[in-house]
Chains A and B, each alone.
Chain A
Amino acid sequence: MADLDELRTTFFEECEDLLDRLGSGLRELAGGAGAGPDDTVHAVFRAVHSIKGGAGAFGLDDLVGFAHLFETVLDGLRAGRTAMSPALAEDLLRAGDMLDDLVQASRDGAPPPAESLARAVAGLERHADGDGDDPLDDFVFEPVALQLDAPDTAPDTGAADPAIWTIDLAPAAAMYMNGNEPAALIAALAGLGPLQVAARTQGVVPLAGFDIDDPQLAWRITLAGDADRAAIDHLFDFVEGLARITVTRGAPDMAPQADPTGSAPPAAPAADEPAAAPPRPAAQPAPAAAPATVRVNLDRVDRLANLVGELVITESVLSQSLAAAGLASNGEIAGGLDRMRHLAGEIQESVMAIRAQPLRPVFQRMERVLREAAQATGKSARLVTTGADTEVDKTVIERLVDPLTHMIRNAVDHGLEDAATRRAAGKPEEGTITLTAAHRSGRVVIEIGDDGGGINRARVRGIAEDKGLVSPDAVLAPSEIDAILFMPGFSSKAEVSAVSGRGVGLDVVQREIQALGGRVGIASSEGAGSAFTISLPLTLAVLDGMVIEFCGQTMVLPLASVVETMGRADTTIRTTGTGGRMLATPGGLVPMIDLADRFGLRPPDTAGDPGVLVVIEGDDGSLVAVTADRILDQRQVVIKSVEDHCGAVPGISAATILGDGRIALILDPEALLHAAGAGPVAFAGGIA
């Protein structure tokens, strides 16, 4: 049996889906597009309605109250009492955002954001019509367990002496047709006190003349005890209007005789009940069939991914031991190993696929970010997204939200010009921000573009010089000036703006993306806009690596950053005036890092000639050559965090377990580049 906490989790997971549906529905409504306004309104209504239903069950009153008001407005729209207007669209969108916030606040047990809640409530109340429940009265929600029709008479004040009720029950056909069983009603009455039941058969006709639409059987029930009138009425609430029911205080002989065959009380069915309900089209148009899914706790998937990683490692350990035992040439064993390696690889891919999720929810959140940023800056902007179905590892997706949020705000705040400037440049007043995602050679590439003014490089350079980030006589290529934007502490706005401000710059974005194994790039053209490109690995769990050895240590370099490898014999090494060594390449001199020295494996300057040189490239295109004794292998390695156990180790990003069971550290190329002081600009505050 699911416990309440689990159900709560289910509820919040369901809310995510519902909020997604709500968001897209609201955007369709606002844009006047979509499958048809009616269907969209219904879908939106259902989403809010379901959130309200679940929230009520968990006593999330703020959420219920707001959802109820939201629902009231949508109901007006659904019933055609309210017409769609730009103002309503805006208030609905804001209400959708608010509902999202309230769900998050409820999940985190945080207080609701009072100020924006009040704004959203005020926005909705403008459109709440009087026809539904009064939203103002209803806003303080009180759970109602059962909707009861008020008893038609006030409870008897009970001066009447004998604690006996006489109840006459004469069902009409409709009562039977709705599945209300007189025996069940009588049984329920028995719960209130001792009963005597007498069937009244006066009107009952012989079976041959029986008319199913005109039942005549009735009952007189005497109920002893001190049951109150409301409790009795409560039991009859479903059959009100479907049976003639009289409830009187006193024993039968004292009670006024209710004439079961008389016509005094209105015959059922009640007047407001159309005898034959017009058949309504029951089936609603089916939405596009969604693939069947099952919700799995992420921990379980992670555990599975981890186990598969172990399996891959075990497979290589086994294969090495067999080779060592001289059994690898045995055809059967070799064949078996091969199949096993193949299967392990496939399982690994399947597990990665489980973790993969479409970017759509993140993209949808960005619509809101854009809206808010546009509002705050007074600019008019729209978001055009493509490739929202591109799948990325779930962990990556979660950690993309902050950087993307920052970049979208940045694009609106710094990228787009104000309306007047845009008009003068012959552009539409409404700016366009594009958000695209695509898979490109084993990575995911996300681009945030704007049709603004592009990077004002002269200004960027000026600010950088003022801040002492670059020397005034440095010769910088346009791309090098663009790279300044990522320098810590650089902000091209004189004062921190309320929108993209918060004191963080693109350097933080870059760090966050790098922490995901990703890179950020910029392309900008004056007057036409800028585009930021984020390139990310598909997964954080495995890495294509080059296994190298130096001074008896085995380490792994991420293959993605390896540009070139060369033997010592093929290279020319120059020594600089300061004693540093540089590798001469056709493109120029590349700084060298002696890894053994760098990790303190031997005293400085005692290095002989390295066996090999591996040239690695940083995200900004800078190069460094690292030295090693030899290259052992090129393989996929399973990433194991070292930070959890050892804290951050400069120069090391993670660890892995090799085929022979030994642990190897995975080198962090960016940290090595920083250490070499490489790159067009010496970045301040390097890692090591």
Chain B
Amino acid sequence: MTHRILAIDDSPTMRGLIARTLGEHDFAVTLAEDGADGLDRLAEVDPHLVLTDINMPRLDGFGVIEGVRGHPAYASTPVLVLTTESSPELKRRARSSGATGWIVKPFDDMALVGVIRRVLGVPLG
């Protein structure tokens, strides 16, 4: 089965990289430009997993996590945080908002795919 992923990042470069990497590994990726755009598309995409940046205009990654967790249908959908920030404090905050896990940018293609597969329960390679 093809897993649907909603990827939210305000950087066009990052969106391009994510789409490319995940597309190559048979994930169906929908891109959103910021947190608000991401939450708007949540129901339409009906994702198996949400991948979100933290620092974004309009609505940041914490807002995304809270929005996803607050939606009855997606309360337990995995949300991975993709960020260049790696401080323990940020991770704690992400986790207490309800993040499933985090990936530090710049990401290694296989590491990104590996983490997503792990969280989705898709056997690795």
- The chain A residues found within 8 Å of chain B, CB to CB, are 1-2, 4, 6-7, 10-11, 13-14, 45-46, 49-50, 52-57, 64, 132-133, 143-147, 176-181, 183-188, 190-191, 235, 237-238, 242, 272-274, 277, 279-280, 282-284, 286-287, 295
Q: Identify whether the interface residues of B are mostly helix, strand, loop, or mixed.
A: mixed
Contacts A235-B118, A237-B101 given; does A53 touch B84 at CB 8 Å: yes
**Cβ-closest 9 pairs across A and B:** A56-B106, A282-B63, A184-B121, A145-B108, A238-B101, A145-B111, A11-B13, A191-B124, A179-B78
Q: How far is the CA of A590 from the CA of B91 in the complex (A)?
A: 80
28 contacts between A and B (CB under 8 A): A1-B20, A2-B19, A7-B13, A7-B17, A11-B13, A13-B12, A14-B13, A50-B11, A50-B55, A53-B13, A54-B14, A57-B106, A145-B104, A145-B107, A146-B103, A146-B104, A147-B86, A147-B102, A177-B98, A180-B78, A188-B117, A188-B118, A191-B123, A242-B95, A273-B95, A282-B60, A283-B36, A284-B57
The reply to whether the CB of B59 lies closer than 8 angstroms to some CB of chain A is: yes
B111 to chain A, nearest CB (A): 4
Q: How far is the CA of A283 from the CA of B62 in the complex (A)?
A: 9
User: Who on chain B is nearest to A278 by CB?
Assistant: B96
Among A53, A179, A272, A284, contact of B106 (Cβ-Cβ < 8 Å): A53
Q: How far is the CA of A14 from the CA of B13 in the complex (A)?
A: 7
Query: Which B residues touch A272, using CB under 8 A?
Result: 92
A49 touches B84 (CB 8 A): yes
Q: How far is the CA of A273 from the CA of B93 in the complex (A)?
A: 9
Q: Total A-B residue pairs with C-beta atoms closer than 8 Å? A: 156
Question: Could you mark each residue 6-45 of chain B with 1 if its beta carbon is under 8 Å from any beta carbon of chain A, else 0?
Answer: 0000111110110110011000000000011000000000
Query: Which B residues touch A179, using CB under 8 A?
Result: 76-79, 98, 100, 119
**Which B66-125 residues have a C-beta within 8 angstroms of A?**
66-67, 69, 75-79, 84-87, 91-93, 95-108, 111, 115, 117-125
B16 touches A6 (CB 8 A): yes
A49 touches B85 (CB 8 A): yes
B53 to chain A, nearest CB (A): 8
Q: How far is the CA of A178 from the CA of B95 in the complex (A)?
A: 7
Q: How far is the CA of A10 from the CA of B101 in the complex (A)?
A: 28
Query: Which B residues touch A279, using CB under 8 A?
Result: 66
Q: How far is the CA of A2 from the CA of B15 in the complex (A)?
A: 11
Contacts A53-B14, A178-B98, A235-B118 given; does A273 touch B104 at CB 8 Å: no
B98 touches A10 (CB 8 A): no
Q: How far is the CA of A227 from the CA of B55 in the complex (A)?
A: 37
Q: How far is the CA of A55 from the CA of B84 in the complex (A)?
A: 11
- How many chain B residues touch the partner (CB < 8 A)? 61
Q: How far is the CA of A287 from the CA of B36 in the complex (A)?
A: 13
A233 to chain B, nearest CB (A): 13
Q: How far is the CA of A45 from the CA of B55 in the complex (A)?
A: 9
Max chain A Cβ within 10 angstroms of own Cβ: one of B12, B66, B76, B84:
B84
Query: Which B residues touch A13, using CB under 8 A?
Result: 12
Among B102, B106, B123, contact of A190 (Cβ-Cβ < 8 Å): B123
Among A54, A64, A133, contact of B11 (Cβ-Cβ < 8 Å): A54
Q: How far is the CA of A154 from the CA of B75 in the complex (A)?
A: 36
Q: How far is the CA of A6 from the CA of B17 in the complex (A)?
A: 10
Contacts A177-B76, A179-B79 given; does A280 touch B62 at CB 8 Å: yes
- Given A64-B106, A143-B106, A146-B103, 5 more A-B residue pairs with CB atoms under 8 Å apart are A2-B19, A10-B13, A177-B98, A187-B121, A238-B101
B96 touches A277 (CB 8 A): yes
User: Who on chain A is nearest to B11 by CB?
Assistant: A50
B72 to chain A, nearest CB (A): 13
User: Who on chain A is nearest to B77 by CB?
Assistant: A179
A57 touches B59 (CB 8 A): no
User: Who on chain B is nearest to A57 by CB?
Assistant: B106
